[in-house]
Structure 1
């Protein structure tokens, strides 16, 4: 199936208002752009507010499947803005069930590798004004995912995306999400995820710590 880039967005952290006269600083409100250079640290002109949970070489690019937009709009009776979940790249035919940790994609002139599922936070609910969407994202595993950059290059809003290499371990993002969020005692599955050399270091540390307590 052909992968289509629907939205391409970047943006620096800024103060945004939510609820009743509350404020937060976040990079979740990204703007559509025509092109941007992708370095090992992320897109030029892009940024995150909390480096503990976002950004860095293992989390340089955030991807979200476009197919989920219809699901959330129908479930919550709303219309979502572009890049509603703070993703850089909104795509078709790259669902969490089909994308695996370690998979390599050509993205415009750049080459990226999938490293982990995206760990969603309350910023999503606050930005969209839908408190119950965060638990639903976690429940379904429709979190999107993050990538590192193997080859730097320019990405354009109409850049093609092509799968270059499927990782032999075949650990899907959906499977990894299920174990990360709800399979805290599933030793065999956690070991399967940790066995993928290309797994993001933060997830490796977290899962290894859990395994250490169980074994």
Structure 2
């Protein structure tokens, strides 16, 4: 399992975002390493945890629970075949493009060591938005991405440091539950009756997912 590239985006004016200022950092490209990875501050206030990566909409991106985003090269390859177009590393606005790692099958709270020192913790999956759809330029993209159910992993930084393309990735902890990124994503999008089940992973869950689960349980019970 290894890191193929570290990707970052600069704030650029686009016509497909409703973020303040009309800018987005969704267009992420591989950058030369080493790249510093750090805890960026509270979700909703902090931005990206990847040095040189701009986050323009703090409502949905950045902060401790969403410090970085990983997507598997294998899944990008699958979408290349599906869409009939090239998708270079970073095409899905991921900060980390991986190889040999089941990113969407990772458990919530699972920890990865990248390189010699950085430790990241899985918190949830990426919810597709208007900006992502506009960036890809594919018809009904948010729906198609959601139905695929392999959203990639949002990550919290446990131990900061520097990473670069070619670093090894090692799974160093797997919690004692069965809530994967894909299952949590499905519960929050297409199968909300699964939300009570996901609460066994509440202590590691990204705050937006946790709020969604709590609201569902408050309304419908567990």
TM normalised by structure 2 equals 0.86
4+ residue runs over 3 A deviation: none
Partner of 1:121: 129
Q: Distance in 1 between matches of 2:132 and 2:55?
A: 14
Q: What is the number of equivalent residue pairs in this alignment?
A: 206
> Does the aligned pair in 2 maintain the 1:96–1:174 contact within 8 Å?
no
Residues 1:11 and 2:9 aligned together: yes
SS in 2 for 1:195: helix
Task: Give the CA deviation at 1:104.
Answer: 0.4
Unaligned runs of 5+ in 2: 41-48
Task: Give the CA deviation at 1:31.
Answer: 2.2
Partner of 2:39: 40
Report the CA distance shift for 1:50/1:97 in structure 2 as closer, same or farther (over 3 A): closer
Unaligned runs of 5+ in 1: none
SS in 2 for 1:12: coil
Residue deviations 1:10-46, cap 9 Å, x none? Answer: 123222467xxxx952111112112211111101211
> Does the aligned pair in 1 maintain the 2:5–2:30 contact within 8 Å?
yes
> Does the aligned pair in 2 maintain the 1:47–1:55 contact within 8 Å?
no
Q: Distance in 2 between matches of 1:96 and 1:44?
A: 22
Q: 146-155 or 127-136: which moved more? A: 127-136
Identify, as 1 or 2, the structure richer in strand: 1
TM normalised by structure 1 equals 0.89
> Does the aligned pair in 1 maintain the 2:104–2:152 contact within 8 Å?
no
Task: Give the CA deviation at 1:161.
Answer: 0.9
Partner of 1:52: 59
Report the CA distance shift for 1:194/1:9 in structure 2 as closer, same or farther (over 3 A): same
Residue deviations 1:39-73, cap 9 Å, x none? Answer: 11101211211100110001001001111122211
Residue deviations 1:83-105, cap 9 Å, x none? Answer: 11100001123235531100000
Residue deviations 1:151-195, cap 9 Å, x none? Answer: 0100111211111011111211111111111122x1xx3222122
Q: Distance in 2 between matches of 1:17 and 1:6?
A: 30
